[in-house]
Amino acid sequence: MRRTARDTEESARRINRRSLMMGGAMVAMFAVLGVRMRFLSVEQADEFRLLAEENRINMRLIPPERGLIFDRNGVLIAGNEQNYRVTVTREEAGDVDAVLARLTNLIPITAEDMERIKRDLDRNSPFVPIIVADRLSWEDFSKVAMNAPTLPGVTPEVGLSRHYPLVEDFSHVVGYVGPVSERDLEERPDPDPVLRIPEFQIGKIGVERWMEDTLRGSAGNKRIEVNHVGRVMRELERTDGTPGRDLQLTIDAEVQNFIQARLGEESAACVVMDVNTGEIIACASSPGFDPNLFVRGITQRDYSALMEDDHRPLANKTVQGAYPPGSTFKMVTALAALEEGLITPETTHYCPGYLEFGDRRFHCWKRGGHGTVDLAKSLSESCDVYYYEIAQAVGIDKIAEMGRRLGLGIRHDLPMSAISEGIMPNKAWKQERWGQDWRIGDTINASIGQGYVLASPLQLTVMTARIATGRAVVPRLIRAIDGTPEPLPEAEPLGLSAEGLRAIRGGMYEVMNTQRGTAYSSRIADETMAFAGKTGTSQVRNITAAERARGVISNDQLPWNRRDHALYVGYAPYENPRYAVTVVVEHGGGGSAAAAPIARDAILRVLHGDIPPLTAYPANQRGRIETDLNALREKLRDLTQTGNSRA
């Protein structure tokens, strides 16, 4: 059927109308797109440029250089050494297992290392570098560098690692660093972001731990350009962090080394303190350990050996050890009685070798007794009965009050780990601790430093320094930070009577310098350096009545861990006190035989500034002393060579 002209014209009009409508719609759509494009490209250009920049630029933290630790004379105690290491970045490596397999052909990687690497890779972002191997030799490091093109994601790096050049000498004082643990992070409410860098190390014990914020410094950062999949293309900008601040300790490294060698294989502790400033000159705990083992990652075998050693090398006996002070405590009991006016230096008591109280007999160490004893004799010959008698009159509360006044039963604030408060008991303490009333027998035991009384070598040194000066000397370990000396407040007077202190000091002088004194054999020949002190022997086992009847078993016939502790406290010179010293030898037997000779050598080393001359010792001892000092010199040389080889 043919269409009419009218139909054709109408059809054309419809087509034109639709074309116009479609054309208009298209124009409108392009207009909207144009407006939108202008809005995005012009008005929001800065915002999108910033987003693009953030996608292109990454920020990474740069660990700060840890502050150094020196002794009082500038000898390096804890430093940083170059550390060659290799890292891998999971995102860049692709097939991580294949890359690690190739690495094992170049450098030593144990199965334990491999487990740790994979654990770290799983825990961290794909873009975070993970340490594969640490402390590599230059040869192994070079192998990785040369084969870098075939090891995608692997980066050889040169960093810094903590190092302790004096090895065992400062292991307990300075401590060591180790990788940040989950516990470390939990202990900090708002942890520094640098602590989350894999394998970043912080102080674990000792000065390293307690001065962590000072030593750590603040992290730097670098801006790196990455491609669209996150691979590093180049470094754009670097801002180095602020290094940690350096510390200078009060300890003399050479004196510390001498005393550590002098303690030898004993389970022992020695503290030397300046009585006028409170500065700790030496703080030696034996045996020590190599802190570098912990920095490098100690093996289970090495750690087990340290833990199973009955001499407890990981324990800092100078501040952590709490021991019955034995007869070194007698000065506290005597001063309490003097200050209360209950005795004078001339007051006497008779010692038959024991004191009977109720149905119990409290024995003196000298079975036959000391006869009539005044204060000076009670100290020089260490009569126990004298103190049993005066303690009943003065009472435990006054004795405890004097003990705290002299620095016992107090936690001294030093940047060291596990500082013991000790125990300076009184009536309220026993009621609170054990729910029991205090008894006279408890006072009698406490009067000679037994029973509940416990003190650390540090506390006993503070006690001795306060007796020597009559002032509330406070121990200090940090001498300067970044070269700026730490404030040195003047010690306040204790408020004790000059007569009482003079009597106690006189008794301590007789301990060392009269023939019946318990430490006469450890006297110093040079009167200008005359030594005053007190020996102590503290029991670690009960002696039964049956054993006393048949004769007390001597220490050398007992197993080591059942022998008495040997103690000694003293100061020198007597006329012008400069240094106080405490020595504790665990299970060493008698204080006069085991502890006093070590204390004499230690105090002479400090006073002379070198290994003591033979003239400092009594003439009849010089042959033996010369042999001992020559052996000690040889040992010091060996220790120095061993330390250098480990370094």
Do residues 401 and 432 lie in contact, with contact meaning Cβ atoms separated by under 8 Å?
A: no
Catalytic residue among 171, 285, 327, 538: 327
Number of Cβ within a 10 Å radius of residue 325: 32
Residue 409 CA to residue 398 CA, distance in Å, equals: 14
Cα torsion for 292, 294, 295, 296, to the nearest 10°? 90
Largest CA distance in the chain: 156
What SS3 class is residue 319?
A: coil
Sequence-ordered list of residues with C-beta below 8 angstroms from that of 156, at least 6 positions apart, any chain: 84, 85, 86, 141, 144, 145, 148
Nearest to 473 by CA among 301, 643, 280: 280
Residue 81 CA to residue 196 CA, distance in Å, equals: 22
Nearest to 370 by CA among 382, 387, 388: 382
Residue 232 CA to residue 466 CA, distance in Å, equals: 63
The backbone torsions φ and ψ at residue 215, rounded to the nearest 5 degrees and listed phi first, read -80, -30
Burial 370-390 (b: 16+ CB within 10 A, else e): beebbbbbbbbbbbbbbbbbb
Residue 140 CA to residue 146 CA, distance in Å, equals: 10
Residue keyed to tokens 């003399």:
252
The backbone torsions φ and ψ at residue 413, rounded to the nearest 5 degrees and listed phi first, read -85, 95
Number of Cβ within a 10 Å radius of residue 103: 22
Residue 352 CA to residue 418 CA, distance in Å, equals: 42
Tokens of 276: 């006028």
Sequence-ordered list of residues with C-beta below 8 angstroms from that of 559, at least 6 positions apart, any chain: none
What SS3 class is residue 602?
A: helix
Nearest to 268 by CA among 583, 600, 481, 624: 583
327 labelled catalytic: yes
What SS3 class is residue 202?
A: strand
Do residues 593 and 599 lie in contact, with contact meaning Cβ atoms separated by under 8 Å?
A: no
In this structure, which amino acid lies at residue 103? L
Task: Name the DSSP class of 86.
Answer: E
Sequence-ordered list of residues with C-beta below 8 angstroms from that of 263, at least 6 positions apart, any chain: 269, 270, 284, 286, 598
Catalytic positions are 327
